[in-house]
């Protein structure tokens, strides 16, 4: 399931605060190049991070929300970049898990921001579980809780939706290709991460969801 709305940019921080009700752990969906994934344990740190990025002229923000009641398995995967296309950077991390709820905010001209809320369905997770084994067992997720939180965030998005702005609801597409199989390593701080075993370099930009 994926939902997109245009909201006033001034309301984007309020949307993130409201989405953070329920004490989720919030991850950067993709880390900065050659950096570990940032993790936010409260709404204040999350909003402050977005404000700092905006001050440096960033216009795109991508986060993955993991709520305590949904269970499941969340992992961090490191993948290779092409240094010649990425300012010398060699790798980047992404956060993955079947039941993560993703929020993307893209600031646009006219003081509006495109907000996208997306989440895998239970059906899709089970259909691809054998192919995408690195995402873990879908059985470990409470899918009713995942749907409940995703629906709540979409309702929150509606509340911050400006009159006359475009909105759409789109079925989440099936992945056309499985990612390269990762091998587990230990990242700094003692947490587990994964390094992509595929040898060919990948493009700088993350794949579209």
A 10 A CB-CB count for 22 gives 15
**Which pTM does this prediction carry?**
0.78
To the nearest 10 degrees (0 to 180), the angle between helices 143-159 and 12-19 is 150
126 in any annotated domain:
yes
205 in any annotated domain:
no
Total count of domains within the chain? 1
Q: How many helices (H) and strands (E) does the chain have?
A: 4, 11
209 in any annotated domain:
no
Tokens of 7: 């909201």
130 in any annotated domain:
yes
93 in any annotated domain:
yes
pLDDT tens, position by position, 32-73? 999 999 999 899 999 999 999 999 999 999 999 999 999 999
- The pLDDT confidence band at residue 157, using thresholds 50, 70 and 90, is confident
Task: Compute the distance between CA of residue 49 and CA of residue 46 in angstroms, rounded to an integer.
Answer: 5
Task: Compute the distance between CA of residue 73 and CA of residue 99 in angstroms, rounded to an integer.
Answer: 8
Q: Which domain does 96 fall in, by range?
A: 2-196
Q: Which pLDDT value is given to residue 1? A: 82
Q: Which pLDDT value is given to residue 100? A: 98
60 in any annotated domain:
yes
Task: Compute the distance between CA of residue 153 and CA of residue 166 in angstroms, rounded to an integer.
Answer: 17
pLDDT tens, position by position, 72-129? 999 999 999 999 999 999 999 999 999 999 999 999 999 999 999 999 999 999 999 9
Assess whether pLDDT exceeds 60 at residue 178: no
3-state secondary structure of 190: helix
């Amino acid at each position: 399931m994926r939902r997109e709305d245009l909201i006033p940019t001034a309301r984007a921080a309020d949307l993130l605060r409201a989405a953070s009700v329920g004490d989720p752990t919030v991850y950067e969906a993709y880390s900065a190049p050659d950096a570990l994934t940032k993790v936010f344990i409260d709404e204040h740190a999350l909003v402050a991070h977005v404000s700092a990025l905006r001050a440096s002229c960033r216009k795109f923000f991508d986060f993955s929300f993991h709520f305590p009641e949904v269970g499941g398995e969340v992992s961090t995967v490191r993948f290779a970049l092409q240094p010649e296309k990425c300012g010398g950077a060699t790798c980047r991390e992404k956060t993955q898990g079947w039941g993560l709820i993703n929020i993307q905010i893209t600031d646009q001209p006219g003081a509006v921001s495109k907000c996208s809320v997306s989440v895998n369905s239970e059906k899709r997770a089970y259909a691809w579980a054998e192919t995408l084994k690195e995402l873990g067992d879908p059985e470990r997720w409470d899918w009713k809780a995942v749907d409940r939180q995703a629906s709540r965030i979409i309702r929150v998005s509606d509340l911050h939706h400006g009159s006359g702005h475009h909105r759409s609801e789109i079925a989440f597409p099936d992945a056309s290709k499985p990612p390269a199989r990762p091998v587990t390593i230990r990242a700094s701080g003692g947490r587990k991460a994964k390094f992509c075993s595929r040898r060919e370099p990948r493009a700088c930009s993350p794949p579209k969801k």
